[in-house]
Amino acid sequence: MAKKHSKKKSKLHGRIRFPWESRSGTAADPLMPKLAGAHDRSMAQTVVAKIVRSGPGYIKDSFVRIMRNSHVLRAEPEFRDLFFDADRTLAVTARILKKHEKELSRLRQADAEEQDVFGDEVRAEIIDELATPVFRKEVLRRLERASERLGKTTEADKYEVALMLEALLEMKGVPWGLCALMTVIYGETLQQAEAQAREDEKIFGEFLPAFEKGMNLEEACALLQDPKRAAELTRMMGAKPGLVDRLQEETLKTLHEFERKLAGGEVELDLFTEAELTLSCTYLEQYLADHNIDLTKMKRDLAAKQFREAIGEAIRETMVPERAREMKTRLEKTSRAWLSADNPMGLMLQIELSYLDDTDHATNPFLLSGFIGQLHRIQRQIKSHPRGDLPHQ
């Protein structure tokens, strides 16, 4: 049963000026362009005619009803498989709950109505953050498909909800956290994420008490070298067909974040010497000379693409077998040192090294990121030492 709207004042938000309101008290009807493209089937015509007869005040009068009833679309084929990102849902939920923990603690002594009001506000805050621009675009795309399909059926109520919800969510200033469809998707995402976290704990729970006792990452990795533990872990993972794929996805996500930091100069590994870095400029200059191109007149995306190719050529020339072995040996020592210091990037570095010999060095994301990161650091050093007294690498 839908909750009755409370008259208590919002705890987290100030008064919202909705799209149909303005400082002058009047506003153009934002629904007319949407209705102009509505379907000409008899049922759809009836719904649209009702909306048109209601005039400009229809959105204001129907806002609460449409937002509240939007949960009916969850069972429609366009929305059955839509969820928020599970890991991000857990992280954002935990962070926002922690931000309000003092107020939540106080509300344990409050009446049920006040608790419900505050709980709805916190949930709305979480959903508004989880609903990224990409997610919002996907929802609007699915709403458009749903209204097109429902317009050809006899389900007038669902058609009206889909048609109107798309129009409402496209408006600036409408909090997505007030939409019942979003709250259902959030609730189901949270349930799935929490269930998966419990399942992960069953499989990897042996590591948790070890960490609590102060075992570092290096010792944790050593657990997997125990044949009995490794065999049991393999058996348990084999019993969960999708687990290996999910772990691979999570590993790749973490590797991409590590490479992003490396490319931004946030991780200092100094993979290449100054002479090796200079090779990229040499290759770029040669390309421009061969094709009689003025770099200052090239489009930015084309210049970036060509510079990336020049970096690849520099890496290919640099990473001869002996140089590759020397780099790997040095980085393995770095990885072990990081692991001993409980630095999680030590594990990421170990994984990167495992791929080092499997791909073309010129296209290896780790090497490309390291090369670009060093160039970024040099650029920052030049800006901070304009007279040329740069520190040596």
Q: Do 303 and 335 lie in a common domain?
A: yes
Whole-angstrom Cα distance, residue 335 to residue 347?
A: 7
Residue 128 and residue 65 in contact, taking contact as beta carbons nearer than 8 Å: no
Q: Residue 375's closest CA among 296, 282, 263? A: 263
Q: Residue 188's closest CA among 336, 81, 29, 323? A: 81
Q: Do 219 and 106 lie in a common domain?
A: no
Look at the chain and report how many structural domains it folds into. 3
Q: Can you give the pTM of this predicted structure?
A: 0.53
Q: How confident is the prediction along the chain (393 residues), in pLDDT tens digits per residue?
A: 444 444 444 444 444 444 444 444 444 455 555 555 555 557 667 776 676 666 666 667 788 899 999 999 999 999 999 999 988 999 999 999 998 888 888 877 788 888 888 888 999 999 999 999 999 999 999 999 999 999 888 888 898 899 889 988 988 888 999 899 999 999 999 999 888 878 767 656 555 454 444 444 455 555 555 666 556 656 655 655 555 666 667 778 888 889 999 999 898 899 999 999 999 888 888 888 888 888 777 788 888 888 889 999 999 999 999 999 999 999 999 998 988 887 888 888 988 888 887 768 988 999 999 999 999 888 887 776 655 554 444
Contacts of 18 (CB under 8 A, 6+ apart): 60, 63, 171, 173, 174
Alpha-carbon separation of residue 27 from 17, 20, 88, 99, 338 (angstroms): 12, 6, 37, 37, 60
Q: Do 36 and 185 lie in a common domain?
A: yes
| Residue bearing tokens 């001993």 | 340
91 in any annotated domain: yes
The pLDDT value recorded for residue 223 is 52
Q: Write out the residue range of the structural domain in which residue 232 sits.
A: 205-239
Q: Do 66 and 163 lie in a common domain?
A: yes
Whole-angstrom Cα distance, residue 367 to residue 351?
A: 13
The pLDDT value recorded for residue 191 is 93
88 in any annotated domain: yes
Q: What is the DSSP secondary structure assignment for residue 391, as one 8-state letter?
A: P
Q: Do 103 and 176 lie in a common domain?
A: yes
Amino acid at 363: T
Q: Do 308 and 186 lie in a common domain?
A: no
Residue 118 and residue 107 in contact, taking contact as beta carbons nearer than 8 Å: yes
3-state secondary structure of 154: coil
Alpha-carbon separation of residue 357 from 13, 233, 268, 345 (angstroms): 54, 27, 22, 20
Q: Do 128 and 213 lie in a common domain?
A: no
Q: Do 314 and 278 lie in a common domain?
A: yes
Q: Residue 280's closest CA among 316, 244, 256, 242? A: 316
Q: Do 41 and 69 lie in a common domain?
A: yes
61 in any annotated domain: yes
3-state secondary structure of 270: coil
Whole-angstrom Cα distance, residue 319 to residue 276?
A: 10
Tokens of 330: 């040095």
174 in any annotated domain: yes
The size of the chain, in residues, is 393
Q: Do 218 and 188 lie in a common domain?
A: no
2 in any annotated domain: no
Alpha-carbon separation of residue 382 from 64, 264, 346 (angstroms): 58, 16, 30
316 in any annotated domain: yes
8 in any annotated domain: no
126 in any annotated domain: yes
Q: Do 271 and 362 lie in a common domain?
A: yes
The pLDDT value recorded for residue 16 is 47
Q: Do 274 and 328 lie in a common domain?
A: yes
Q: Residue 148's closest CA among 219, 78, 253? A: 78
